[in-house]
């Protein structure tokens, strides 16, 4: 899903892309307890260790963006800046979180029943993905996409690094969420990508790349 960015960003930065556990070509443990927010942020830390990076510009789209915020909450010293793309920060109210979890579990059920058909009917990044084990995607939906507290959304005012918040103009479910994050994160910049949906980096790659490179060019040199 990041192919449109690899060459553009790779001319200026070392770019590391990865598949979360249960996704793509990563392993898919059979134990549901192996999938969680805590496991995911630990995986990001382990990935940085593996490539020899004490800290990095950390980002992702949708669940990847949420996990990037969670990673900052767990390992703030390892984040130079954040790229939060077509993402929501979670929920303060239990009722809203419960409704989200119903949607996440339903997504897992649909993938379990319909397989690739359920993914191909989704947004561009889901339709383009190739997974070696769909059972892992199902477990990830039920145990990583679901949320259990409000710690991430409550942490936004405490983020001390620059953050780029990006959303596709047609990604209606996330417009208000990105407005909220841009207002709450002190050093944030928001960019709306016209004629783009949930996968703004795929829908309008050149516009997206310009926005990211412009943001990165303005970061302090130490980052």
Q: Are 84 and 65 in contact (CB under 8 A)?
A: yes
Q: What is the pLDDT of residues 55-95, one digit of tens each?
A: 999 999 999 999 999 999 999 999 999 999 999 999 999 99
pLDDT band at 204 (very low <50, low <70, confident <90, very high): very high
Looking at residue 130, what is its pLDDT?
A: 83
Looking at residue 118, what is its pLDDT?
A: 73
Closest alpha carbon to 139 in 12, 26, 7: 26
**b/e burial code for range 62-71 (CB count within 10 A of at least 16 → b):** bbbbbbbbbb
pLDDT band at 124 (very low <50, low <70, confident <90, very high): confident
Looking at residue 143, what is its pLDDT?
A: 95
Looking at residue 133, what is its pLDDT?
A: 87
pLDDT band at 223 (very low <50, low <70, confident <90, very high): very low
Mean pLDDT of 175-200: 97
Residue 90 CA to residue 27 CA, distance in Å, equals: 26
Q: Are 141 and 34 in contact (CB under 8 A)?
A: no
Residue 21 CA to residue 25 CA, distance in Å, equals: 9
Query: Computed from CA positions of residues 38, 167, 102, 26, in that sequence, does the dihedral angle turn out positive or negative?
Result: negative
**Helical segments of 75-204, H only:** 94-114, 116-120, 124-128, 134-140, 151-155, 175-184, 200-203
pLDDT band at 121 (very low <50, low <70, confident <90, very high): low
Instruction: Return mean pLDDT, the chain.
Output: 93
- Residue 129 in tokens: 């993905």
Residue 21 CA to residue 87 CA, distance in Å, equals: 19
Q: What is the pLDDT of residues 104-113, one digit of tens each?
A: 999 999 888 8
pLDDT at 156 over 50: yes
Closest alpha carbon to 87 in 48, 107, 56, 59: 59
Mean pLDDT of 21-34: 93
- Indicate the domain borders of the chain: 12-55+73-80+90-162+182-191+216-223
Closest alpha carbon to 142 in 17, 35, 58: 35
Looking at residue 122, what is its pLDDT?
A: 67
Looking at residue 28, what is its pLDDT?
A: 93
* Phi and psi at residue 134, to the nearest 5°: -65, -20
Record the pTM: 0.93
């Amino acid at each position: 899903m990041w192919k449109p960015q690899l060459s553009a960003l790779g001319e200026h930065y070392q770019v590391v892309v990865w598949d979360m556990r249960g996704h793509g070509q990563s392993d898919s443990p059979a134990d549901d307890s192996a999938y969680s927010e805590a496991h995911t942020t630990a995986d990001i830390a382990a990935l940085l260790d593996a490539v020899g990076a004490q800290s990095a510009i950390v980002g992702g789209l949708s669940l990847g963006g949420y996990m990037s915020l969670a990673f900052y909450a767990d390992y703030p010293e390892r984040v130079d800046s954040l790229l939060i793309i077509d993402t929501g920060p979670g929920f303060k109210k239990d009722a809203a979180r419960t409704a989200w979890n119903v949607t996440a579990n339903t997504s897992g059920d649909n993938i379990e029943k319909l397989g690739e058909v359920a993914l191909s009917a989704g947004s561009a990044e889901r339709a383009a993905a190739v997974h070696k084990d769909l059972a892992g995607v199902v477990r990830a939906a039920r145990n990583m996409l679901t949320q259990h507290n409000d710690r991430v959304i409550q942490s936004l005012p405490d983020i001390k690094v620059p953050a780029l918040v990006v959303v596709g103009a047609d990604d209606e479910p996330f417009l208000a969420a990105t407005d909220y994050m841009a207002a709450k994160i002190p050093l944030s910049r928001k960019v709306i990508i016209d004629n783009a949906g949930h996968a703004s980096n795929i829908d309008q790659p050149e516009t997206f790349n310009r926005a990211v490179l412009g943001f990165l060019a303005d970061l302090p040199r130490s980052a």
